[in-house]
Copies of this chain bind each other. A is one copy, B any other.
Amino acid sequence: MLPWEAALAGRIDRHVISSEFLRDNVLGDPADRPLWVYTPPGYDSSDGRWPTVYVIQGYTGHLAMWENRMPFRQPFTETADAVFASGDVPGCIVAYVDAWTAYGGSQFVDSPGTGRYHSYLCDEVVSWVDASYRTIADRESRGIMGKSSGGFGAMITPMMRPDLFGALATHAGDTLYELCYIHDFGPAVRALRDYDADIMAWWDDFRSRPSFTKDGDGTLLGLLGCAAAFSARDDGTPELPFDPRTGMIRPDEWQRWLDWDPVRMAAKYADALRSMRGIWIDAGTRDDYFLDLGATAFRDELAKIGVAEDRVYFELFSATHAAIDYRYPMSLAWLAQRLAR
């Protein structure tokens, strides 16, 4: 394999769509968003219709990053294409969705702290894709997948919108919040010592200098973004779920986070989850945020609420949270074979 580029068997169209839901969002982020749509080999030469898989990104991800080239790896745009190039796996349309915010991400929810990214995804992007491409415009033929925050989005979006999505894949998706998030509260409090315990003071500093040049930058950014998504005030101000001087849990704000924990949401959205054609769950056994445990806990919840075992693919593999992009084509192929066509 040559590293610089690769020809695709299918085709990627690069669009910009204009979102009403994102207009005038509190962060002043653009309402015009890039949207890439991949059509599989054979799309242009036929008038058939295809299932669609929506692909969403992890925290700090934005659409252009899908073309980043890492050493001895190919971008997902190419490995996804390779899934369909051989003809062994039935083709899908793949929609790459952007939900970036100034804080680095949106968690794919509607929040006064960031914007209406859930609505944008469900009620604008999906219909735009259906209108613009020969999709099979039906939940049974629509899947969603992602990693990390994207895996979280891939869990919650079909729970809330089973009318739209009939399958999902989560790679190291955020869940089991006591383990994946509390883990960062202590380091965050320590990092805030330099900012008089004021995360917005840190944020101002962060934007004024080269990013990620101070130790706590990554941790604080992630918590700020989650607070903006999960526990913002009505005016958009993010409220941390802990006292920034002591790390003591603030029960009300923390409960708002927990209400978004897929492990906890599963029981409430049991019907939606039972209706899924396929649920792929995986994570690395040494995931930095213990999302291997989150994955296991989510799988257990699915069993508890009666999701049929043969609908679920579950695997833990030897890895940390990083560099697991080689897993994505596996779940994409699995979804492609599960979606109705």
Contact = CB atoms under 8 A, between A and B. Distances in A.
A216 interface: no
Interface string A211-241: 1110000000000000000000000000000
Contacts of A293: 186, 189-190, 246-247
A58 to B, nearest CB: 10
Interface in A261-301: 263, 285-286, 290, 292-294, 296-297, 300
A104 B72 contact: yes
Nearest to A58: B71
A62 interface: yes
Contact of A212 (B68, B72, B98, B245): B72
Given A71-B104, A186-B183, A62 B247 contact: no
Nearest to A292: B190
Contacts of A4: 34, 62-64, 98
Interface string A188-199: 011000000000
Contacts of A296: 245-247
A17 interface: no
Report, as a range, how many residues of chain A touch the other chain: 35 or more
Copies in the complex: 4
Contacts of A64: 3-5, 69
Interface in A1-51: 2-5, 30, 34
Nearest to A189: B293
Given A64-B4, A69-B68, A72-B212, A285 B190 contact: yes
Given A263-B248, A290-B247, A293-B247, A60 B68 contact: no
A201 interface: no
B190 A179 contact: no
A248 B297 contact: yes
Interface string A49-81: 000000000001111110111111100000000
Contacts of A67: 67
A340 interface: no
A83 interface: no
Nearest to A249: B178
Contacts of A63: 4
A4 B248 CA distance: 38
12 contacts: A4-B98, A61-B71, A68-B70, A73-B212, A176-B248, A178-B182, A178-B249, A182-B183, A190-B285, A190-B293, A243-B297, A245-B296
